[in-house]
Amino acid sequence: MFDTSRLTRRFSGFKPVGYSACREPGHQWCDGAVSTLDHPAVAKVAAALREAGLDRSADGIRILDDDVKTAALAAAALGIEVGAIANSLIFKARHGDEDRPLLALTSGAHRADTAWLAELTGADRIGRADPEFVRAHTGQPIGGVAPVGHPQRLDTLVDRSLARFDVVWAAAGHPKSVFPVTYADLVILTGGTAADVAGKEDDPAS
């Protein structure tokens, strides 16, 4: 069961740094945000959140003025620690003759260790996915991949490092869009497995 009351308490009156204040009651989206909010991928993410009972997360979808394709850019725009950004990283997981998508929701504070991911998932090897592979399996572009809203549910690992934050932020299907969610709800939402995706030693992002 999703605890939506936590988002109610933590985001009441919250206005992130860097957002245009166009989604206040009585206002329309402005500064080009309408086209982004209406983007099919963002709409799918919002629908998936509502279907899961996470209305606060769906209502909390924000449209930034600029693309935020890295955790550092997203954190700067939101005015939060980079570790509270849940990067949606798609990898190619090789199983025999088949490449399967693997979603690793990784804290922006470090990188995922692909050798460790292979050990965790039993894959022969793990490699970075190209843009075509990412879009084929998520319907979303690199830099805007959300934890949900995909054509099919993906095998997912959720970085335990994210649990130290009351709320984390993830992309909402477009490089300008993000949404808030608690760590516990993120694990349940994705059907993912909690894991230390950085392996035995963190590899700090440059």
67: in domain: yes
185: in domain: yes
> What's the gap between Cα 94 and its chain centre?
23
Which of the four pLDDT bands, split at 50, 70 and 90, describes residue 171? very high
Q: What per-residue confidence (pLDDT) applies to 56?
A: 95
Domains held by the chain: number:
1
33: in domain: yes
| Size (the chain), residues | 206
92: in domain: yes
CATH code of the domain containing 169: 3.90.960.10
Query: Average pLDDT, stretch 16-32?
Result: 34
Which of the four pLDDT bands, split at 50, 70 and 90, describes residue 36? low
203: in domain: no
* Cβ atoms within 10 Å of 111's Cβ, excluding its own: 19
Q: What is the tens place of the pLDDT at every residue in 65-89? A: 888 888 999 999 999 999 999 999 9
Q: What per-residue confidence (pLDDT) applies to 37?
A: 66
31-61 CB burial, b ≥16 within 10 A, e <16: eebeebbebebbebbbebbeebbbebbbebb
89: in domain: yes
**C-alpha closest to that of 186 among 204, 165, 202:** 165
Q: What per-residue confidence (pLDDT) applies to 6?
A: 47
Mean pLDDT computed over every residue of the chain = 83
Q: What per-residue confidence (pLDDT) applies to 177?
A: 93
201: in domain: no
Q: What per-residue confidence (pLDDT) applies to 107?
A: 97
Q: What per-residue confidence (pLDDT) applies to 77?
A: 92
Residue 136 structural domain:
4-195
Q: What is the tens place of the pLDDT at every residue in 150-161? A: 999 999 999 999
Q: What per-residue confidence (pLDDT) applies to 118?
A: 97
Q: What per-residue confidence (pLDDT) applies to 80?
A: 95
108: in domain: yes
Q: What per-residue confidence (pLDDT) applies to 170?
A: 97
Query: Average pLDDT, stretch 137-146?
Result: 94
Statement: residue 27 has pLDDT above 50:
no
